[in-house]
Amino acid sequence: MPFQDQEAPRPQQHEPEQQAQDTQPSENRAGTSAKDLEISFRNHMTHTVGRPLENSSILDQYHALAAVVRDRMMDQWLETIENYKQHNVRVLGYLSAEYLLGPHLENALLNLDLRPQMEEALKNVGLDLATIAAEEPEPGLGNGGLGRLAACFMDSLSTLDVPVLGYGLRYEFGIFRQEIVDGWQVEKSDKWLQYGNPWEIGASTSYEVCFFGHTETYNDDQGLLRHRWVPEHTVKGIPYDTPIPGYQTRTVNRLRLWKAAAVDSFDLSIFNSGDYMGAVRQKMESETISKVLYPPDEQIQGKRLRLMQQYFFTSCSLQDMLRLHCMRGEKLSTFHEKWTIQLNDTHPSIGIPELMRLLMDNHNFSWDDAWNVTQKTFGYTNHTLLPEALERWPLDLFGGLLPRHLEIIYEINERFLDDMRSRYPNDDARMRRMSIIGEEGERSVQMAKLAVIGSKAINGVAELHTQLLEQDTLHDYYETFPERFSNKTNGVTPRRWLMLSNPCLVDLINETIGTRWHKDLYGLRGLEHFADDKNFLARWRQAQEGCKSSLAKYISQNLSITVDPASMFDVHVKRIHEYKRQHLKALHILSLYCQIKNGTLKNPTPTTYLFGGKAAPSYVMAKLMIKLVCSVADLVNNDPATRDVMKVVFLPNYSVSLGQHIYPAADLSEQISTAGKEASGTGCMKMMMNGAVTIGTLDGANIEIRKECGEENFFLFGLTAPQIADTLHAGYQPRAYYERSPLLKEVMDGITSGRFFGGNSATFAPLVDNLLSWDPFFVLADFDSYDTVHTQVSDAYRDTNAWGRMSLLNTARSGKFSSDRTIREYCRDIWKLPVG
């Protein structure tokens, strides 16, 4: 055992190699006692950071501390790899363009069970763990839910001892940092790597990835006609590994992120000829590929660099998996038996023609043999039904960059359509619908169709979403091979989202029902016994108020706004998007403002409305929605008639670490997307676990949350997905709702006239016009229903015990939404992997 028993006397107090002048006791780099950790910390401060402790900055201390924690993972890390090798296990390759990991330090301390000793060790040298941890820059290598899902999955995979290699891109600049200036979003670059990243481990392998050029045919040694790609440009992919420790297990899996570099970083002959800039140009151009994370953007489809990123990381990852497979002494024809690859959305779906190319062009496979391996290897997770988000690449852009892949895609398509023609004779419309090549408008490669045709399994991320995929978006394929489709409702890791972010509540839960729930979240059901215990509910509320006070302090310190921790915290945090309807919430707050001002709302329930989220930099309407929220905040926070009963706060730079602070403080979870638009949502699950009650539409995971917690513990409003479809079909007239609802009319008119915003009527005109004339997300149609249900919420909140009961039951019944459950389902149904 590399771990030494903490109590056992340590025999090597004076190792022979120890320097005589070294007064410190010998270091045990895997030791976990407070004393071991302290010695290790002092050593890393000297030998890794190179600074005297007395003169060290908090950043120095963070780097020394990270090194201490990393040391404690390394034996397990090597052991895990060795273990997989010895048992020749089947491995999951998880391909995702995004990983929204959040800070590592405290998560690693939790999963390795080191926190109390570490706190003590630091106290002994006069330092505070929380202060140092706050110094960690967040690796923001994702935009929102999709990237966060990949991060939660990695935590669950390690916790459940599932062999996985996570693959992605090591963006030098992650998601932008958001500042709010005069109510408007301003984007600042995220230099998360500028002081180095102590969590990553360089590897000695690298791969070459090619672009551009042309294809040709030739005769091989046996005189067979073969195809090959003659590329014009090559870059190198260099892997950086991040250890992902499971919770209370020895498994430490690998997240392997690729950095792009020039094949020859410096061309000396060009340099010697005096062309200094020319000599570094190639290096710069190559490195551009992993420079920056793309924010979601309507125009993203036309961006060649984005397709280069996708191909770059997918090709590196596949080459890596093929190499590891061969190193195990296996034949490539058994690749699909030893590996299963999951595509987190279509971003890595170029992997399908890439695996075909590698097998055929580099390893002499026939088409049929290559297809047999490829099609049995991949699984595809769809994340969205929004048509503008389904990836499609113009043919000339695609063919220019990846000519050989386009050829292969044509052939996949031809063979597939031949097959379909024999199944569905004389059905040209269907053939057009099922073709990978889209013919409407500019001809394009439709990546979702490629992913469906090239995968053994296709899944949606919540029950409703999967149903809509099967019945609508992917209906033709579902009809043809229904057995490939399944649902895998998303989940979130309870380690980060409950245990790490809400220690007060967790202490109470542990004390009440023990700790079995840490690895089986259904164990939280034990709390149901206390739902009518008034004393317990008082303690429950006290724990929640602790979180609310802490967030109130953050708001006061960072935004100079005073909020009352006893008020109801009504929380709407997520990406800013019209379908998520932050503007519905803003309109509702304005309607309350009007009613308080004109005296029709007598005794309002004191409420703090919290918003947070980033808008895509090019998404003008989303940025206007942020401005609207900030303007509403200025109005109600400063009006003497309202400021004591309502506060509105926009929290800038919503991120994982800020989320950890916000979710536990929520009383009410706002999940108010237009029904049928939110594939799943995971923010809703984080809040449910922490005891928030949801107000929501019948959309995404809300439906399943309501089923789990019970209708009586959920506030439902709004049109359903079929009603939305019917309303649209009948010809939706948003203006009719405006004419019919006096409350809505007053709010809309107040914005238009400038009454609320100091006479400014111009700023929000585009938003008002959009809602009145088109309203693609049915804000006006759902307004009255939302208002009515909010009145019920406010009344319910006043009954402290009844609310506490609802809150407790939400936590108690949140077991389904652990990503451990999700991962178990993927392992059982798609990956065919045993779970530890």
Binding residues for ligand PLP, rule: CB under 6 A, are: 100, 144-145, 148, 574-575, 654-656, 659, 681-683, 686
Instruction: Determine contact, residues 106/146, Cβ cutoff 8 Å.
Output: no
What are φ and ψ of residue 650, in 5° steps?
Answer: -100, 115
Distance, C-alpha 174 to centroid of its chain: 13
Residue 661 among the catalytic residues: no
Question: Least CB distance from residue 181 to ligand PLP, whole Å?
Answer: 22
Residue 376 among the catalytic residues: no
Question: Least CB distance from residue 383 to ligand PLP, whole Å?
Answer: 11
Q: Of 170, 383, 465, 627, which one is the catalytic site residue?
A: 383
Residue found under tokens 């379909």: 420
Residue 363 among the catalytic residues: no
Picking from 368, 721, 747, 716, the residue whose alpha carbon sits closest to that of residue 591 is 747
The strand ranges marked E within 602-721 are 607-612, 646-651, 668-671, 693-696, 715-716
Pick between residue 180 and residue 270 the one whose CB is nearest to ligand PLP: 180
DSSP letter at 295 equals P
CA–CA separation, 689 and 768 (whole Å): 36
Q: Of 682, 694, 697, 822, which one is the catalytic site residue?
A: 682
CB-based burial, 759-782: b 16+ in 10 Å, e otherwise: eeeeebeebbebbbeebebbbbbb
**CA-based angle 796:798:799, to the nearest 5?**
70
Residue 267: half-sphere exposure toward Cβ, Cα within 13 Å: 16
Question: Least CB distance from residue 656 to ligand PLP, whole Å?
Answer: 5
Cβ count within 10 A of residue 707: 13
The answer for residues whose C-beta is within 8 angstroms of residue 176's C-beta and 6 or more apart is: 187, 188, 189, 190, 295, 614, 617
Q: Of 170, 449, 686, 706, which one is the catalytic site residue?
A: 686
Can you name the residues that pair with 446 across neighbouring β-strands?
392
Pick between residue 143 and residue 377 the one whose CB is nearest to ligand PLP: 143
Please compute Rg for the chain using Cα positions.
Answer: 28
Pick between residue 340 and residue 811 the one whose CB is nearest to ligand PLP: 811
Residue 686 among the catalytic residues: yes
Q: To the nearest 10°, the Cα dihedral for 797, 800, 802, 804?
A: 100
CA–CA separation, 133 and 122 (whole Å): 12
CA–CA separation, 217 and 788 (whole Å): 69
Picking from 364, 405, 356, 411, the residue whose alpha carbon sits closest to that of residue 215 is 405
Q: Of 306, 575, 627, 677, which one is the catalytic site residue?
A: 575
Question: Least CB distance from residue 254 to ligand PLP, whole Å?
Answer: 23
Pick between residue 686 and residue 813 the one whose CB is nearest to ligand PLP: 686
Picking from 533, 542, 549, the residue whose alpha carbon sits closest to that of residue 508 is 542
Instruction: Determine contact, residues 763/757, Cβ cutoff 8 Å.
Output: yes
Q: Using CB positions, name the residue nearest to ligand PLP.
A: 683
Question: Least CB distance from residue 571 to ligand PLP, whole Å?
Answer: 10
Pick between residue 145 and residue 243 the one whose CB is nearest to ligand PLP: 145
Distance, C-alpha 218 to centroid of its chain: 45
Pick between residue 145 and residue 174 the one whose CB is nearest to ligand PLP: 145
Pick between residue 98 and residue 787 the one whose CB is nearest to ligand PLP: 98
3-state secondary structure of 154: helix
Picking from 145, 480, 168, the residue whose alpha carbon sits closest to that of residue 348 is 168
Question: Least CB distance from residue 580 to ligand PLP, whole Å?
Answer: 7
Residue 383 among the catalytic residues: yes
Side chain identity at residue 443, one-letter code: R
CA–CA separation, 533 and 805 (whole Å): 9
The answer for residues whose C-beta is within 8 angstroms of residue 223's C-beta and 6 or more apart is: none
The answer for residues whose C-beta is within 8 angstroms of residue 750's C-beta and 6 or more apart is: 590, 594, 756
Pick between residue 292 and residue 576 the one whose CB is nearest to ligand PLP: 576
Pick between residue 144 and residue 491 the one whose CB is nearest to ligand PLP: 144
Pick between residue 567 and residue 682 the one whose CB is nearest to ligand PLP: 682
Residue 475 among the catalytic residues: no
**CA-based angle 236:241:244, to the nearest 5?**
155
Instruction: Determine contact, residues 492/818, Cβ cutoff 8 Å.
Output: yes
Q: Of 70, 170, 580, 583, which one is the catalytic site residue?
A: 580
Pick between residue 67 and residue 701 the one whose CB is nearest to ligand PLP: 701
Pick between residue 314 and residue 682 the one whose CB is nearest to ligand PLP: 682
Picking from 723, 744, 743, the residue whose alpha carbon sits closest to that of residue 734 is 744
Question: Least CB distance from residue 360 to ligand PLP, whole Å?
Answer: 40
Instruction: Determine contact, residues 176/189, Cβ cutoff 8 Å.
Output: yes
**CA-based angle 176:182:186, to the nearest 5?**
15
Q: Which two tokens stand for residue 27?
A: 């270091």
Question: Least CB distance from residue 369 to ligand PLP, whole Å?
Answer: 41
CA–CA separation, 39 and 649 (whole Å): 44
Pick between residue 68 and residue 672 the one whose CB is nearest to ligand PLP: 672
Question: Least CB distance from residue 470 to ligand PLP, whole Å?
Answer: 22
Question: Least CB distance from residue 342 to ligand PLP, whole Å?
Answer: 19
Question: Least CB distance from residue 789 to ligand PLP, whole Å?
Answer: 19
Question: Least CB distance from residue 782 to ligand PLP, whole Å?
Answer: 18
CA–CA separation, 319 and 256 (whole Å): 13
CB-based burial, 38-69: b 16+ in 10 Å, e otherwise: bbbbbbbbeebbeeebeebeeebbbbbbbbbb
3-state secondary structure of 393: strand
Q: Which two tokens stand for residue 726?
A: 């019917």
Question: Least CB distance from residue 817 to ligand PLP, whole Å?
Answer: 11
Measure the N-to-C terminal CA separation of the chain; round to a whole number of Å: 20
Q: Of 574, 577, 585, 647, which one is the catalytic site residue?
A: 574
Catalytic residues: 383, 574-575, 580, 682, 686
